[in-house]
Amino acid sequence: MHNTPMPPHLGQKFPVLIVTGTNDTDSPLANRARELVDDITLSGLTVDLVHSDAEGAAYIAATPQISCAILGLDHETDNLNQLETLVHAIRRHGRNLPVFVATSRMAIGRLPVALLKETEGYIWLFEDSPAFIAGRIVAAARRYLDTVLPPFFGALANFAKVHEYSWHTPGHTGGTAFRKTAVGSAFLNFYGEEMLRSDLSVSVGELGSLNDHSGALKEAEQFAAKTFGADFTVFSVGGSSASNQMVLHAFVTDGDVVLVDRNCHKSLNYALNMTGAVPVYLMPRRNHRGVIGPVPREEMTAEAIAAKIKANPLVKKGRDKPVLAVLTNSTYDGLCYDITTTTQLLGQSVDRIHYDEAWYGYARFNPVYAGRFGMHDEPHKTSDPTVTATQSTHKLLAALSQASMVHVRQGRKPIDFALFNEAFMMHTSTSPQYSIMASTDISTKMMHDAGPALTEECIREAIDFRQEVGRIGEEILGKNSNDWWFETWQPQHAGAASFVDANPDMLANDPKFWALNADDDTWHGFGDLGAGYCMLDPIKVTLLTPGINADGSLAENGIPASIVSAFLDARGIVVEKTEPYSILVLFSIGITKGKWGSLVSALLEFKDAYDANAPLEDVIPSLTKSFPKQYQGLGIKEFAAEMHAFLAETALLDHLDAAFMELPVATMTPRDAYNQMVRGDVERLPVSKIMDRVLAVQIVPYPPGIPVLMPGEKITRSSKSILDYLSAMEKFDARFPGFEHETHGVETQRDADGRPVYHTYVLNKSGA
């Protein structure tokens, strides 16, 4: 990897850490260490000095940004175990950080070989001069700092300090334009000069170009490819939405058959509009809680795919060989495929497979996910399909919004980079935001240096949270079996132990405990998927609220999850996704114990409020303030009962399940329907009147963000459940303002009584 010198102003924020290893601050070792501080600081570096190993461990856990570590070995005490612990803690977050052991010659013989291999060397505190020792430390620290910054961000950080007079875009020229007005100054003060100085133009040749993948940008993409296991990688500044569209536009054209996961993101469906492809859908399973599961393997066999293609009236003669298969991995709810199996099955029908891994960029860095991501570690075979994977770097790694990557693993139908770049340029800006690209570069370097440690922390925090929720449940229900508490969705047993009592180390390291097995399918509800075919991602935690029986029917009493989410939101806790009786929370690398501890406390607070039927104006004040007529005077338990009864009365969950399990009739390709829409040959109708009409837009309820209707499809009597589902949501929105559904492709108008009425666009009958 190219080494980029760290600018001095950044290097000053990476102190040298000295841990004397003794609680005796007046010991000869501690006194000698203090003498080093002045000599090191003369070089421009800062020094943090702590004495005990416990202080050192706490410092390292909280402060990974150090440039060098000097760990003391007090020969009068037996602190070898503490020393090894400190070294291992450092290595988890800095594989190349220089570590010196400060000791005397009489103590050096006690160091084990394994520990010696992890150190830069020794410092003879009582035999060499402080100036000589400081020189060794400073030289090692500077060498390390020159490897910290990845290619693109390093070049950007250095260039931003040039303070050039620019005659190119952007017009704010490093922020100076903002200084000319009060509001501009407020903007500058909020974001800071560094961010605005690094907002540059493609005219800056030193940084390279995203469009032709040159210079420092090219080096960054090559480094990302190596880090994520790809043959080549490109950065995208339009999120995985743009990245998915790049992939389809690179491989697919008018009339081509594409195998599409019906569980796919709407960006892939928009790509179908653009490319003119004929979608042939792979249907995922659903469970009794409405969770969309994996596409079963029997959907992917060559025989099943051939039958689907033959039954599709839109497939043109001689164009019946699919050119691409698209599969979501992992799903929104955290279900991950055995990639060896899916690639082998789909590879019997297609030469190229695309995995949408927007929520899954961390998988390569932890062994619990081995064999379950597109850029896997198995040796290349020329007979394998070519595989692409898109990852939203910003979602669960550390990057700015819209940061994304496309990874390519070459196979039997290789991708020509220059030709792929034509599709790439179709979906990226000629003026990309440099901070987004820099954050992608930084995220790559973080995972390169500390990916295993970062992912292990996420997994362990998620396991701790799951077990804490379970432990609280056991305590509450143990006192009163008729009481209630939340559950987390996962296997109920880990070997012979219950999940709550299982060893966290075992759960964190063995994927078999997260598998969706046939002999224990009561928790996942997807039936027999085959051994090892699918597993639950530990870091995607689905909280279950009471209200659904084991057979999927609604219980007599229940707590709709949207009420819990509103309660949490009122306390500054925003969840990722809310279904009728479940809530999804994500344990990204930004998770802390304090963060999930606050969530547990809020759930306990909700239980107390619910059991006491606390007034809504006290627990969700924004609700009663905005809609006093509907909610004033209601208690939260009464409100939950009312909403639960309404869901039962309208059978909304039954309609939801059926709507996503039935494919509407496809009368034309999404592209043909879109073309007619652009020409204005459409009609806007209430949703209640769209039976037997061809849709001009896709209808996508959020959650789960998956289309129930695509352009060119129409509802017939065999798919009437889709209409029933939309009607039930419309009624729900009228009954419970403040809890309205978000449905893309549907516009809401108010009737004379102020009730919401869903509308959408259909094609004119003459065009359809």
Any idea of the CA torsion for 499, 581, 286, 708, to the nearest 10 degrees? -150
Token output for 383: 């007979």
User: Domain-by-domain residue ranges, the chain?
Assistant: 8-148, 152-197, 213-448, 451-650, 652-763
**pLDDT at residue 706 in the model:** 82
Residue 540 in 3-state DSSP? strand
**pLDDT at residue 612 in the model:** 98
**Pick from 167, 189, 168: which is nearest to 178 by CA?**
189
Instruction: Report which residue type is found at 473.
Output: G
Total H helices, total E strands in the chain: 28, 27
Architecture of domain 652-763 in this structure: Alpha-Beta Complex (3.90)
Task: Kindly report whether the global pTM for this prediction surpasses the value 0.85.
Answer: yes
* 213-448: CATH, from 2.170.190.11, 2.40.50.1020, 1.10.10.10, 3.40.640.10: 3.40.640.10
From residue 401, how far is each of 392, 397, 404, 437, 668 by CA, in Å?
Answer: 9, 11, 9, 10, 35
Q: What is the CB neighbour count within 10 angstroms for residue 746?
A: 21
DSSP code for 351: S
DSSP per position, 76-144: TS--HHHHHHHHHHHHHH-TT--EEEEE-HHHHTTS-HHHHTTSSEEEETTTS-HHHHHHHHHHHHHHH
DSSP code for 696: S
**pLDDT at residue 672 in the model:** 96
Q: What is the CATH number of domain 8-148?
A: 3.40.50.2300
Contact call for residues 140 and 98 (beta carbons, < 8 A): yes
DSSP code for 552: S
Residues of the chain with pLDDT under 50: 1, 75-76
Q: Return d(Cα 153, Cα 160) in angstroms, integer.
A: 10
**pLDDT at residue 162 in the model:** 61
Q: Does domain 451-650 have CATH number 3.20.20.210?
A: no
Half-sphere exposure of 148 (CA within 13 A, CB side): 25
DSSP code for 615: B
Q: Return d(Cα 97, Cα 91) in angstroms, integer.
A: 7
Half-sphere exposure of 761 (CA within 13 A, CB side): 18
Q: Return d(Cα 516, Cα 507) in angstroms, integer.
A: 14
**pLDDT at residue 75 in the model:** 47
Chain centroid to CA 251: how far? 26
Which residues make Cβ contacts (< 8 Å) with residue 549, sequence separation at least 6? 555
